Amino acid sequence: MAKPKVPGMFKGLGVTFATLLATAKNGADTVQYPHEKETPPIRARGVIALHEDNCTSCMLCARSCPDWCIYIEGHKELAPPRRAGGAPRKVNKLDRFDIDYALCMYCGICVEVCPFDALFWSPEYEYSEPRIADLLHDKAKLGEWMQTVPEAPELEAGAEKKGKK
Protein backbone atom coordinates (compact mmCIF):
# COMPACT_ATOMS: atom_id res chain seq x y z
CA MET A 1 0.00 0.00 0.00
CA ALA A 2 1.46 3.30 -1.05
CA LYS A 3 1.73 5.78 1.77
CA PRO A 4 -0.29 8.96 1.19
CA LYS A 5 2.04 11.83 0.41
CA VAL A 6 2.19 14.23 3.35
CA PRO A 7 3.10 17.82 2.43
CA GLY A 8 6.53 18.72 3.72
CA MET A 9 5.17 21.48 5.89
CA PHE A 10 3.04 19.11 7.97
CA LYS A 11 5.91 16.66 8.14
CA GLY A 12 8.02 19.47 9.59
CA LEU A 13 5.33 20.26 12.14
CA GLY A 14 5.37 16.61 13.13
CA VAL A 15 9.13 16.58 13.56
CA THR A 16 9.18 19.62 15.83
CA PHE A 17 6.26 18.37 17.90
CA ALA A 18 7.81 14.93 18.28
CA THR A 19 11.04 16.56 19.45
CA LEU A 20 9.07 18.70 21.88
CA LEU A 21 7.44 15.63 23.41
CA ALA A 22 10.68 13.66 23.46
CA THR A 23 12.49 16.51 25.22
CA ALA A 24 9.71 16.85 27.77
CA LYS A 25 9.78 13.08 28.41
CA ASN A 26 13.44 12.10 28.15
CA GLY A 27 15.20 15.39 28.84
CA ALA A 28 17.28 17.47 26.48
CA ASP A 29 20.26 16.34 24.47
CA THR A 30 22.23 19.25 25.91
CA VAL A 31 23.69 19.48 29.42
CA GLN A 32 23.41 22.48 31.75
CA TYR A 33 27.09 23.27 31.50
CA PRO A 34 28.36 24.82 34.71
CA HIS A 35 26.28 22.40 36.78
CA GLU A 36 26.97 19.21 34.87
CA LYS A 37 29.89 18.58 32.58
CA GLU A 38 30.39 16.25 29.72
CA THR A 39 33.61 14.25 29.66
CA PRO A 40 35.40 15.11 26.46
CA PRO A 41 36.75 12.24 24.37
CA ILE A 42 40.19 11.09 25.45
CA ARG A 43 41.87 12.53 22.36
CA ALA A 44 40.00 15.84 22.47
CA ARG A 45 42.11 18.88 21.62
CA GLY A 46 41.64 20.95 24.76
CA VAL A 47 45.00 22.41 25.68
CA ILE A 48 48.62 21.72 24.76
CA ALA A 49 50.88 20.50 27.57
CA LEU A 50 54.66 20.77 27.68
CA HIS A 51 56.95 18.03 28.97
CA GLU A 52 59.89 20.30 29.63
CA ASP A 53 62.57 17.66 30.05
CA ASN A 54 62.06 16.41 26.51
CA CYS A 55 62.30 19.87 24.95
CA THR A 56 65.57 20.70 23.22
CA SER A 57 64.40 24.20 22.16
CA CYS A 58 64.82 23.17 18.54
CA MET A 59 62.20 25.76 17.60
CA LEU A 60 60.44 23.42 15.14
CA CYS A 61 57.10 23.96 16.88
CA ALA A 62 57.49 27.74 16.96
CA ARG A 63 58.40 27.85 13.29
CA SER A 64 55.63 25.56 12.16
CA CYS A 65 52.96 27.40 14.12
CA PRO A 66 50.64 29.14 11.61
CA ASP A 67 49.72 31.82 14.16
CA TRP A 68 53.21 32.31 15.58
CA CYS A 69 51.74 31.86 19.04
CA ILE A 70 54.66 29.88 20.53
CA TYR A 71 57.49 31.87 22.06
CA ILE A 72 60.75 30.07 22.85
CA GLU A 73 63.95 31.41 24.32
CA GLY A 74 66.86 29.33 25.47
CA HIS A 75 70.57 29.20 26.06
CA LYS A 76 73.31 26.58 25.95
CA GLU A 77 74.65 25.09 29.15
CA LEU A 78 77.44 22.69 29.96
CA ALA A 79 76.26 19.46 31.54
CA PRO A 80 78.45 16.92 33.28
CA PRO A 81 79.84 14.29 30.89
CA ARG A 82 78.13 10.94 30.50
CA ARG A 83 81.29 8.93 31.22
CA ALA A 84 84.07 9.78 33.63
CA GLY A 85 86.85 11.69 31.89
CA GLY A 86 84.68 12.71 28.96
CA ALA A 87 84.14 16.22 27.71
CA PRO A 88 81.21 18.16 29.25
CA ARG A 89 78.07 17.95 27.16
CA LYS A 90 76.44 20.98 25.64
CA VAL A 91 72.68 21.02 26.27
CA ASN A 92 70.01 23.52 25.29
CA LYS A 93 68.39 24.97 28.39
CA LEU A 94 64.85 26.30 28.02
CA ASP A 95 64.37 29.81 29.46
CA ARG A 96 60.97 30.59 28.11
CA PHE A 97 58.27 28.51 26.47
CA ASP A 98 54.96 30.37 26.14
CA ILE A 99 51.86 29.48 24.16
CA ASP A 100 49.42 32.33 23.58
CA TYR A 101 46.02 30.65 23.67
CA ALA A 102 44.42 33.90 22.58
CA LEU A 103 46.04 33.22 19.19
CA CYS A 104 46.22 29.43 19.11
CA MET A 105 43.78 27.83 16.70
CA TYR A 106 44.26 24.28 17.97
CA CYS A 107 45.58 22.93 14.68
CA GLY A 108 47.98 20.65 16.56
CA ILE A 109 50.84 21.07 14.06
CA CYS A 110 53.29 21.79 16.92
CA VAL A 111 52.32 18.52 18.61
CA GLU A 112 52.77 16.64 15.34
CA VAL A 113 56.05 18.26 14.44
CA CYS A 114 57.82 17.88 17.80
CA PRO A 115 60.57 15.29 17.24
CA PHE A 116 61.20 14.72 20.95
CA ASP A 117 57.67 14.17 22.28
CA ALA A 118 57.69 17.31 24.37
CA LEU A 119 54.19 18.52 23.44
CA PHE A 120 50.99 16.63 24.18
CA TRP A 121 47.28 17.20 23.76
CA SER A 122 45.22 17.34 26.94
CA PRO A 123 41.41 17.20 26.88
CA GLU A 124 41.21 19.89 29.59
CA TYR A 125 39.18 22.86 28.30
CA GLU A 126 38.28 25.10 31.24
CA TYR A 127 40.97 27.75 31.20
CA SER A 128 39.16 30.86 29.99
CA GLU A 129 40.29 34.10 31.60
CA PRO A 130 38.70 37.48 32.22
CA ARG A 131 41.87 39.16 30.94
CA ILE A 132 43.08 38.19 27.50
CA ALA A 133 46.74 38.57 28.55
CA ASP A 134 46.25 35.73 31.04
CA LEU A 135 45.73 33.35 28.15
CA LEU A 136 49.49 33.42 27.59
CA HIS A 137 50.48 30.21 29.37
CA ASP A 138 54.09 30.09 30.46
CA LYS A 139 56.44 27.15 30.90
CA ALA A 140 55.28 26.34 34.42
CA LYS A 141 51.60 26.40 33.53
CA LEU A 142 52.14 24.33 30.38
CA GLY A 143 54.02 21.87 32.58
CA GLU A 144 51.10 21.63 34.96
CA TRP A 145 48.85 20.59 32.08
CA MET A 146 51.01 17.45 31.82
CA GLN A 147 49.06 16.09 34.81
CA THR A 148 45.91 16.03 32.70
CA VAL A 149 47.40 14.30 29.65
CA PRO A 150 45.80 10.86 29.38
CA GLU A 151 47.84 7.72 28.94
CA ALA A 152 48.50 7.00 25.30
CA PRO A 153 46.19 4.25 24.05
CA GLU A 154 47.67 0.85 23.29
CA LEU A 155 49.28 0.63 19.89
CA GLU A 156 47.90 -1.78 17.36
CA ALA A 157 49.66 -5.11 17.06
CA GLY A 158 52.78 -4.78 14.92
CA ALA A 159 52.94 -1.02 15.21
CA GLU A 160 56.24 0.52 16.20
CA LYS A 161 56.45 1.37 19.89
CA LYS A 162 57.46 4.97 20.42
CA GLY A 163 59.04 6.53 23.47
CA LYS A 164 56.67 7.37 26.34
CA LYS A 165 56.38 10.85 27.70
Residue 23 beta carbon to another protein: minimum distance, rounded to whole angstroms: 4
- Find out whether 50 and 141 touch, Cβ atoms under 8 Å: no
> What type of residue sits at position 99?
I
Only segment of 6-14, 56-64, 85-93, 157-165 that touches another protein (CB under 8 A): 6-14
22 belongs to the binding site for another protein (CB under 8 A):
yes
Residue 15 beta carbon to another protein: minimum distance, rounded to whole angstroms: 7
Per CB under 8 A, the list member of 1, 4, 7, 16 interacting with another protein is 16
Q: Give the C-alpha separation, 116 to 36, whole Å.
A: 37
Hey, how many other C-beta atoms are within 10 angstroms of the C-beta on 56?
15
38 belongs to the binding site for another protein (CB under 8 A):
no
125 belongs to the binding site for another protein (CB under 8 A):
no
Per CB under 8 A, the list member of 1, 2, 9, 157 interacting with another protein is 9
The terminus-to-terminus CA distance of the chain in angstroms comes to 64
Only segment of 19-27, 77-85, 88-96, 149-157 that touches another protein (CB under 8 A): 19-27
Residue 39 beta carbon to another protein: minimum distance, rounded to whole angstroms: 19
Residue 123 beta carbon to another protein: minimum distance, rounded to whole angstroms: 23
Which are the contacts of 97, defined by CB distance < 8 A and separation ≥ 6?
50, 52, 55, 57, 70, 71, 72, 138, 139, 142
- Find out whether 96 and 71 touch, Cβ atoms under 8 Å: yes
